[in-house]
Amino acid sequence: MVGGGVIGTMHAYLALKAGLEVIHVERDSIPSSASVRNFGLVWVSGREAGAELDLAIRARQLWGEIGSEASIGFRPNGSLTIAQTDSEFAVMQEAAAMDDAVLRGFRILHKREVQELEPLLGGNFIGGLQCTTDAAVEPNLLLSGLRNEMSKNARYEWRPDFDVVNFAHSDTGNHIVDANGEKLSADFLALCPGAAHAGFLSEYFQEAPIRKVFLQMGATAPIAEKLGHSIADADSMRYYPAFKNLSLDQLPPQSKLAKEHHMQLLLAPRFDGSFTIGDTHLYEEPFSHEIIEEPYEHLTNVISNIFGQKFKIAKRWSGIYSQSTSSDIYFRREVAPGAVIVTGAGGRGNTLSPAIAEETITSWAL
């Protein structure tokens, strides 16, 4: 497996479970791309009805199993999407009446019911949409937790600092070569490079329906009180395809700043008492190296309004993910018998990762 992010690591995890001998290579000493920069959300609520939701539901099942095997901070904490206006609440009521609402675990809650679940939410809002199938992992535990679990098995080998610069296929299998000239060979090869669309795989990405997306993220300073659920604001309903057929035109106009930066509030509680918050979306390359401050002011205002208390941002960072721009849920390309590129799951890559990996392993007909 090439790539130490969540897609490559889930491939390694499920291939090992399927009985394969696995060599797992990563160019960095410690993976530091999208998979450690994200919210760690397993977000079923926003997935488009049909194939995407089916894949998310399967992934959620697998997360439950894997979360009980490996120390990755998995918890089925559910989410609350908060309505701050009557019209937002009305759209959430429509969501709770969708055909697949039960499958998603949707339930409409009035403010008092939200506060029974989460007393910390003491601000101005009307109610919320609960999603009981949403879950979360800790991004700073996930990859090492999965590797630690795999390392108990003699059939797993982790090779950091292995920067793949070439790939070839021959009668004897699939072969990769790293920057130091070391060669490894395997019957099956999953190339999971994330947003590294350049380099030795660039020929496969040149005309491909795929792009990169740049996001800004932050973390609040830890607090003593505990929050269970992950939180979203109603802007998230504009963004997630699950809600695309609802009366979104009835939502109040999005704030100028949130619109300009393609923002929503997502908030994931962390074990240390901080909240991971975001996000913005930038689609035009080349991306600037600069982190813009205004989106953080917007996010802290939204949170302060929902919680009824002020929060300070303690950390800021950015991340880039690879996103399929076709109707395909993610980018999968067989480049030789038994060798496949898997990336492009976009902002749902963490959520879908175990089910995506399962599709690859199944395709190898073991």
State which of positions 140-169 bind ligand FAD (CB under 6 A): 163-164
Shortest CB 109 distance to ligand FAD, Å: 22
Q: Which residues contact 190 (CB under 8 A, 6 or more apart)?
A: 1, 2, 3, 8, 11, 15, 340, 342, 357, 360
Q: Is position 205 an interface residue for ligand FAD (rule: CB under 6 A)? A: no
Q: Is position 38 an interface residue for ligand FAD (rule: CB under 6 A)? A: yes
Q: Is position 46 an interface residue for ligand FAD (rule: CB under 6 A)? A: no
Q: CA–CA separation, 326 vs 155, rounded Å? A: 37
Q: Give the count of residues interacting with ligand FAD (CB under 6 A).
A: 43
Q: Is position 196 an interface residue for ligand FAD (rule: CB under 6 A)? A: yes
Q: Is position 41 an interface residue for ligand FAD (rule: CB under 6 A)? A: yes
Beta strands in the chain (DSSP E): 22-25, 41-42, 79-83, 106-110, 127-131, 135-136, 156-159, 164-170, 173-178, 183-186, 189-191, 210-220, 230-233, 266-269, 275-278, 313-324, 331-336, 339-343
Q: Is position 77 an interface residue for ligand FAD (rule: CB under 6 A)? A: no
Nearest CA-CA partner of 265 in 247, 277, 248: 277
Q: Which of 215, 232, 277, 303 binds ligand FAD (CB under 6 A)?
A: 215
Q: Which of 44, 212, 348, 355 binds ligand FAD (CB under 6 A)?
A: 348
Closer to ligand FAD by Cβ: residue 95 or 356: 356
Q: Residue 146 — left, alpha, or beta (φ > 0 → left; ψ -120 to 50 → alpha)?
A: alpha
The three-class DSSP label of residue 74 is: coil
Stretch that binds ligand FAD, among 37-45, 76-84, 122-130, 331-339 (CB under 6 A): 37-45
Closer to ligand FAD by Cβ: residue 27 or 104: 27
Q: CA–CA separation, 239 vs 42, rounded Å? A: 16
Nearest CA-CA partner of 226 in 261, 270, 160: 270
Q: CA 37, 41, 45, 50 torsion: positive or negative?
A: positive
Q: Is position 4 an interface residue for ligand FAD (rule: CB under 6 A)? A: yes
Closer to ligand FAD by Cβ: residue 35 or 89: 35
Q: Which of 128, 269, 295, 319 binds ligand FAD (CB under 6 A)?
A: 319
The three-class DSSP label of residue 185 is: strand
Shortest CB 287 distance to ligand FAD, Å: 12
Closer to ligand FAD by Cβ: residue 7 or 108: 7
Q: Which residue is nearest to ligand FAD (CB)?
A: 349
The identity of residue 334, as a single letter, is E
- 33 φ, ψ (degrees, to nearest 5): -95, -150
Nearest CA-CA partner of 343 in 208, 215, 214, 170: 208
Q: Which of 12, 14, 31, 118 binds ligand FAD (CB under 6 A)?
A: 31
Q: Is position 193 an interface residue for ligand FAD (rule: CB under 6 A)? A: yes
Q: Tell me the per-residue interface mask from 239 to 278 with ligand FAD, x by CB under 6 A, - otherwise.
A: ----------------------------------------
- The single residue listed with the structure tokens 């090992």 is 16
Nearest CA-CA partner of 278 in 335, 340, 220, 334: 220
Instruction: Kindly list the residues in this chain that would bind ligand FAD in the complex (CB under 6 A).
Output: 2-8, 25-28, 31, 33-35, 37-41, 43, 163-164, 192-196, 199, 215, 217, 279, 319-321, 343, 345-351
